[in-house]
Structure 1
Amino acid sequence: MSLSFPVSNTQIISQLEKILDFQVFRNSLILTGFLKFVIEETLAGRAKDLKEYTIGTEVLGKKVGYDPQGDASVRIHAGRLRKVLQEYYSGPGKLDSVLISIPKGTYVPVFSQKDPEPPGFSETGSTISKPTLAVVPFQDLEDEGLKAFADGLCEQICSDLGFFSELSVISYFSSRRMAFQELDLKNAGKLLDATYLLTGSIQSKNDRVRIRVQLIQSASQKLIWSNLYEREKSELGGFALQDDIVHHVVNQIGGTHGIIFREGAKANPIRPAVDIKVYDAIHWYYYLVNDVNEPTFRKGLEIMKSTVNFDPNYALGWAILGETYVAGYFYGFDAMLDDPLREAIRCGQKAIKLDPMTQHSYQTLGLAYLFQRKKKECLQIIAEWEKLPHRANGIAGGLGFCLIAAGDFEKGYRLLCESIQINPYYQWWFNAGLSFYHFAKGEYDDAQYWAEKIQGQSLLWELILKAASYSQLGQTSSAQSTYLQLKNILPDSVTLDQILGSFLLSESLVEELGKALKKANSVNTMV
């Protein structure tokens, strides 16, 4: 029997093709298959057969005879499908004339002519796809006590990773159901439609337990990170062990400094601004901090502007655009603006307004206020960040640097040290922050050590800190030769006093660095 729709079959198929070109669908075989199946079955006159069991066997590959009442995977993906359709029509499909929707309570699609601004569709839906992570129950656990501990551990990891706006995290309730279906990880990844799977195992022998946590790329089954935790079995009874493991795992994986985005950045070169894809904002951030030069800066600035134009509600995009302006200001690159720091602050504030959990926005604002020499505002934004329920480790290091530069040495030092201990993939200026700290404390050997670790990523500040440290250590020859290198790269119109005061807000630190550099100047050149 042929059914009649308010729009033609040709229009429906054309609209389906447009929808499936949306980035989220291109990254999800399950959502693509789900939508194609229910539309094709409806157009073929078989809408009455679109039941949960049929979709489970035909789309999700469930075995014949499976019980949909005990397996919520079809309902889970149907909810995701409705949400992504809403995102599509809030973004690239906003002006489309054909609306395809799947009302709650049914799996039968509805086709209709669409007004330019359809009622009930949010303006705030994000059109930037994120990597999806599922925490899968630990495997091969026979002891009930170990099962209970593993469940608590997985649930807390899942909950804490949910605070990172850069990731889409599937609820542990959904992924835990995989434990009852005896699926291998590859099939679990397909069923959950997760880009990454976090799982592990627990072994117990005598009075010791060994806990292994692994992060796996779902499609390739490649192990991209793992860590082993070994403790006394008696520690399983309290929350301290669980909290320690969760803290370490979350900071290794979550946020823009985590392994997921480091891995992604390796494989994806910067694309043209007209080809914004899944996590270009994150990838650009890595190119910006790891290969700082003016052509890269200009390319990245173009990409980030296009990203927020593509999706004005992408909070992380606004935060990184702001940080790009700050980086350009620091290195003296032309952003073609009268006041790039003011623009950076506007971007950071917009990011926080869109999503207060976007932690990069706090770093953007902290750095921008620091360069504006607005100590009060800098400390205030850091205090706001401290109130967040979960604080990203990489951002902690950046804000620790801001605190040291603003004169709050001990608090800044603690944040920097904690950041580096948890995750060694940090930016060169973290080393500069630690060098500033030790110099301010009169610990010149340590100040020189951290200055050496800058390794040319900012030759100016490396030479300043090394020359000052050598001078205070009485290493006259090294101090003089380093100062000579410094003098040779200084612009004619800029003095060292101006450079030291550009963002160091501690008068005592600026004074001590200035004295040490003057002592290093064997030819008595004016600093």
Structure 2
Amino acid sequence: MSISDSFARTAFSEGEIRKQLARILAFPEFQASDRRRDMLAFVVDEALAGRASGIKATTIAMAVFDRGADFDQQADPVVRLEARKLRRDLDNYYADAGQNDPIRISIPKGAYVPKFAAQATGNAALARPEAVTRPARPDTPPSADTEAPPMPATPASRRWRPLHATAGAGILVLALLAIVMAKRPVSIPSQDAAAVPVGGVKILMEGFDTRSADDLSTLLASGLSHELAASLLRFPDLRVHLMAASGDADPAIATGAEEAPNTDFTVSGTVWRETDEVLVRAELVRRRDGQVLWSDRFIEGAEGRSLTDIQDAIAGEIAAVVGQQYGHAMRDIRQTLAADGSDPSLRGFACVASAQIYRRTYRSEAYQAARDCLEQTVLDEPNYGRAWAMLAYLRNDAARFGHDSERTRDEAFAHARAAALRALDINPSDTDALQAMSHIEQYAGDLDRSIAFAQRAVEENPNDPAVLANLGYRYGMVGSFDKAVPLLERAIDLSLAPAPFYFHMIAMDHMMKEEWDDMLVNAERAVADGSALSHALLAIAHAGLSNEQAARDAYDYVAGRSPLLAEDPRAWLEPRRLDPEVIDAIEKGIASVRSHHSQ
């Protein structure tokens, strides 16, 4: 690719592009780490210098991440993972501070060569790329590139021997498999109709088309809808219906109803193969007006891989985006409920949605209304498991934060446990109920049971970022940061909008290692929740970097929000069952901030 391929067609000069890069890097709230900032500057510099064709994982690894010439991107995914985070950093910048900038710098998925595009200032569709009119499908698929998303682990019992498209025996196996997959039922968790009310999010799987005639693409397209439906049904707020070959929703596969009701969204896509890679384009469309809320491309290497491996990986990635609580489908439904809450049949689901919003930041001003709504819902709909699951969370918060003045702390935890057990009695696979139990057991002092419930939730749905983050947080509470951080980073990577508290344990890990720059980056992401703990971590990070005024400002916030945490952090932290060594480090850090504050 030449320099003209990179940016000349946008009619921007090199100076204008460098000015835009400087504007991004100088923005104080740009969330990228120093290494990701260096990565952005490097790829832009290389493109502007006419060396776009040389922007590969290896060159980035050597120039930015201090790797040697023997760098192996398959064994060391640092460039791929950091590129994904950088794309999210840029999306967040342009969704907020950069929405009126004249030039949009992006790094399209699947490659590392930056793209420079004119941005219409004040254009809401640009600021919110998910709200676009559904485009016609292109005649030709996008070209293949070098980056592939990481594969989730697949149990050995499900692995088949590698596929070789040119081998006659392999072709026969694939042909037989096509017959089996076309007839097999979906392997999904059972859903009682009472567990998901009329207001649950209803998704119609339209299936995946093929653009290439090879056997692997054909079989992948055939089975992907079933696997994706199974993955989506692990998210407890979703109901999924599969489109039969005739074009009608298949009542034998649709869950919770004799026939498919009107659905809120459709998921569809296209599968094709280019050399040794399989590509899938998927999209989520709102049915009432045909708007595409989300569209993305996924790439998996096919050489030496089983069909099951490829299918599971792609289905998991799509399900994580479509099904997560703060993803496009749930966000769109919540907006609809907020605009029209007059339908009494939707009241219970609206209460669950409001509790999910509260749990994102735990803001005290949102607590009571969400709690009262759920308490009334379980009286009106005693078999609505989702309401019981979310109520267990909020009753647990009553014990944690002292919201329940009528009960002792132990009685409040028992009250929360009763709600969680009721939810699990209705649906033993409800991941929110399992997570609520992990919270309750932690604060009740049984950390082993807390982690066990969190692990069960991950087993039920390993594609839900909230579930992964919950287990990561539990490990962090006992000081096992080697287990906590990878889970939390995976949750952040899967999340469209990571909850601020996901960054707590990562910041604490850097605190324990006295890595103050990295701690600061994560503490700055955490403070979006407005909590005293997030600001305490921010104060400690600033103190470690000798940013005395910033440390004082953060400490003053803590003192105003939670005087006990500011003055006696041990007394504040011990009831939360945090690891003693971590408590020692936080206590030491706050004492350092306080000593400088008094001078």
Shared fold, TM over 0.5: yes
Structure 2 Cα separation of the partners of residues 291 and 377 of structure 1:
25
Partner of 1:150: 221
Give the percent of matched residue pairs that are identical in Structure 1 and Structure 2. Answer: 15
3-state DSSP of counterpart to 1:164: coil
Deviation at 1:319, TM superposition (A): 0.9
- Quote the Cα distance in structure 1 between the aligned partners of 2:573 and 2:419: 27
Candidates 379, 388, 403, aligned match of 1:318: 388
Please give the alpha-carbon distance, in whole angstroms, between the structure 2 residues aligned to 1:327 and 1:381: 18
Structure 1 pair 335/262, CA: closer, same or farther in 2 (3 Å)?
Answer: farther
* TM-score where L is the length of structure 1: 0.66
Give CA deviations for 1:114-157 in whole Å, capped at 9, x if unaligned. Answer: xxxxxxxxxx7865542222221223646252222211222211
Deviations 1:1-49 (A, max 9, x none): xxxxxxxxxxxxxxxxxxxxxxxxxxxxxxxxxxxxxxxxxxxxxxxxx
Within 2, Cα distance between the matches of 1:274 and 1:134? 24
Q: Give the 3-state SS of the residue equivalent to 2:529 in structure 1.
A: coil
Amino acid at match of 2:207: P
Letter of the 1:302 counterpart: D
Q: Could you say if the C-alpha distance between residues 406 and 195 of structure 1 is closer, same or farther in structure 2, counting changes exceeding 3 Å?
A: same
Superposed displacement of residue 430, structure 1: 1.0
Map Cα deviations across residues 298-332 of structure 1 (whole Å, 9 max, x no partner).
21111111221222122211110111223445555
- CA distance in structure 1 between the partners assigned to 2:196 and 2:261 by the alignment: 21
AA in 1 matched with 2:338: P
1 CA distance for matches of 2:414 and 2:343?
Answer: 24
Aligned to 1:298: 368
The correspondence for 1:219, drawn from 288, 299, 304, is: 288
The match for 2:444 is 372
Q: What is the CA RMSD across the aligned residues, in angstroms?
A: 3.4
Do the aligned partners of residues 424 and 440 (structure 1) sit closer, same or farther apart at CA in structure 2, a change above 3 Å counting? farther
Query: Is 1:509 the counterpart of 2:582 in the alignment?
Result: yes
Q: Considering only CA atoms, is the larger Rg found in Structure 1 or Structure 2?
A: 1
Query: Relative to 1, partners in 2 of residues 1:328 and 1:462: Cα closer, same or farther, differing over 3 Å?
Result: same
Matched, 1:139 2:209: yes
The partner residue of 2:356 within 283, 286, 298 is: 286
Letter in 1 for 2:575: S
Match runs of 1:24-423 below 5 Å? 128-139=198-209, 141=211, 143=213, 145=215, 146-170=217-241, 172=242, 175-178=244-247, 193-204=262-273, 209-231=278-300, 234=303, 238-269=307-338, 271=341, 276-277=346-347, 279-290=349-360, 292-334=362-404, 337-339=407-409, 340-388=412-460, 390=462, 392-423=464-495
Residue 508 of structure 1, CA deviation: 0.6
Cα distance in 2 between the residues matched to 1:216 and 1:424 = 17
2:197 and 2:349 in contact (8 A); partners too: no
CA contact (8 A) 1:281 1:316 kept: no
- Contact 2:228/2:319 (CA < 8 Å) preserved in 1? yes
1:357-410 deviations in Å (ceiling 9; x for gaps):
100112212222223333233123224334436553212112211220122222
Q: Equivalent residue for 2:527? A: 455
CA drift of 1:292 comes to: 4.9
Count of aligned pairs between the two proteins: 395
1:97 aligns to what? none
Structure 2 counterpart of 1:495, from 552, 558, 568: 568
Whole-Å separation in 1 of the counterparts to 2:579 and 2:481: 9
Aligned to 1:49: none
Q: Give the aligned partner of residue 537 of structure 2.
A: 465
Distance in 2 between the 1:517 and 1:492 partners?
12
Please report how far the alpha carbon of residue 248 of structure 1 lies from its aligned counterpart in structure 2 after TM superposition: 0.5
1:518 counterpart residue number? 591
CA contact (8 A) 2:457 2:467 kept: no
**Mapped partners of 1:180, 1:377: distance in 2:** 41
Q: CA deviation at 1:210?
A: 3.5
Contact 1:345/1:368, CA 8 A, preserved across alignment: yes
State the alpha-carbon separation in 1 of the partners of residues 398 and 270 from structure 2.
Answer: 46
